[in-house]
Structure formats: C-alpha cells, structure tokens
Amino acid sequence: MIRSSRIMFWWFEVKIHFKKLYPFLIPYIAVITGLYFLKNAWISILLYHVMIIAYIVATGRISGFRKIKCGWNVRLMFFSCVVSVLAGPALFAFWDLMTLKNSDPGLILTGFHLNGISWTLFIPYFCLIHPGLEEVFWRGNSEKDKVTGIFRDILFGGYHVLVLVLFIKLEWVIISFLLLTFISIMWNSISQKTHGLLIPLLSHTVTDTSIIIAANIILNRN
C-alpha cells in the first residue's frame, strides 16, 4: 500500500513537471507552421513572438520584463559574452563541413521570403527584439526547479533543431543542439544567480548578432 502510494505521488509530481513545460512548445508550433507549412520566416518568428506575449500577459508574468534591467555582474558578463561571441566565428570556420551537400543557403532563405529588404529588416529584428522576448519567455519567470529547468533548456535547444536541419548535416545538428542546450543552462544559471535577465539578454544579443554577421559573410561569399 505504501509502495503504491509512493508510485502515485511520483507520477503526480512527474505530471506537474511536464505541465509546466507545455508553454515551451510554442516555438515548435510557430516554426512548424511558419517554415514547414507556410514557407515564410517572418510568419514563423512573428507568430512565435505573438504567442509569447499572449502567454506572458495571460499568465500575469509581465514582471519578467522588469528583470531585463536587473542582474549586473562584471565577471559573469565577461565570461558569457566571450562564449557568445564565438558563435559567429565558429559558424564561419566550420560552415563548409556543416552545410548540406549541394545546398545554397541563399536560395533556402529566399524560399522562406528572406531576401532583399525582407532580409535587411529581419537582421535588426532578430538581433535586437528577438533576444529580449526569448529571455523573458524562457528565463523571466523560471522556478528554482532543477528538473523542470533542465527539460526547459533541452526544449530550448530542441526547437532550433527544426531550423538547423534545413541548413546543416545531421551530425552538426546534434552538436548544435548540445551547444544550445548548454548555453541555455548557462543563461538560466546566470539568471538565477543574479536575479535578473540583463546578462543573459546581452549575451543572447551578442550570440545572435555574431551568427548573423557570419551568415552574411557566408551569403556574400557564395
């Protein structure tokens, strides 16, 4: 009887953990809808952001936005930004090994309506607006629950896989997933330690900007 009660209690705890993770399926819905069905990157990212904002407002988690200006630490800032700025150079250095055979990233982006003025406008939006909304969503109201936190970090890395498989080889998708999960754990740890999102936000912005710069160099080279 006692053993049965423990099993029931464990199952109840597991269900609670996974229910907390349901909102973090939002980017999966947005990416699949925007990129795979509608073939439009703008629809994908805007749908993602609209759903994020709707969730934050509906659940009363607007306080996460106030954390954006909190949590300064010079050492953590230096460490996180050094790690983040390496993303672009690494992408550029390994691109020829990573890219799919006979693949043209420019044509792929064009297929998702990212060319010309559309791509030009996408760059500042992706580098400046996107990181802030993601940090508030993924880490703005994170509980100090290590189990849920780890799965949340895995989901953060996982949704990027849906995009990466369109551009790079499977083994590099796996490596990228592991790196993205690690950096999510890093940002989450910094957020918990500093009680703010300032460092994760700046580090996230550096990461995205570094990647976009590398992507532009690769596109112009091709």
DSSP assignment, residue 100?
Answer: P
pLDDT of residue 144: 54
Give CA–CA dist 209/86, Å, rounded.
11
pLDDT of residue 48: 98
- The answer to whether the Cα torsion of 61, 65, 66, 71 is positive or negative is positive
pLDDT of residue 141: 77
pTM, entire model: 0.91
Residue 123 CA to its chain's centroid (Å): 16
Which tokens go with 182? Answer: 């690690």
Question: Whole-number mean pLDDT of the chain?
Answer: 90
pLDDT of residue 133: 97
Give CA–CA dist 55/6, Å, rounded.
34
pLDDT of residue 147: 58
pLDDT of residue 12: 43
Ranges of the chain with pLDDT below 50: 7-14
- Cβ neighbors of 74 (< 8 A, separation 6 or more) are none
Q: Map out the domains of the chain as residue ranges.
A: 64-221
pLDDT of residue 8: 47
Cβ-count burial of 32 within 10 angstroms (0-12 exposed, 13-18 middle, 19+ buried)?
A: middle
Which three-class secondary structure state does DSSP give residue 141? coil
- Cβ neighbors of 86 (< 8 A, separation 6 or more) are 210
Give CA–CA dist 173/158, Å, rounded.
10
Q: Give the helix/strand (H/E) hosting 130.
A: helix 130-139
pLDDT of residue 61: 86
Q: In the beta sheet, which residues pair with residue 168?
A: 99
One-letter amino acid for residue 72 of the chain? W
Backbone angles phi, psi at 59, to 5 degrees: -100, 5
Give CA–CA dist 216/213, Å, rounded.
5
pLDDT tens string 20-59: 888 999 999 999 999 999 999 999 999 999 999 999 999 8
Give CA–CA dist 50/132, Å, rounded.
13
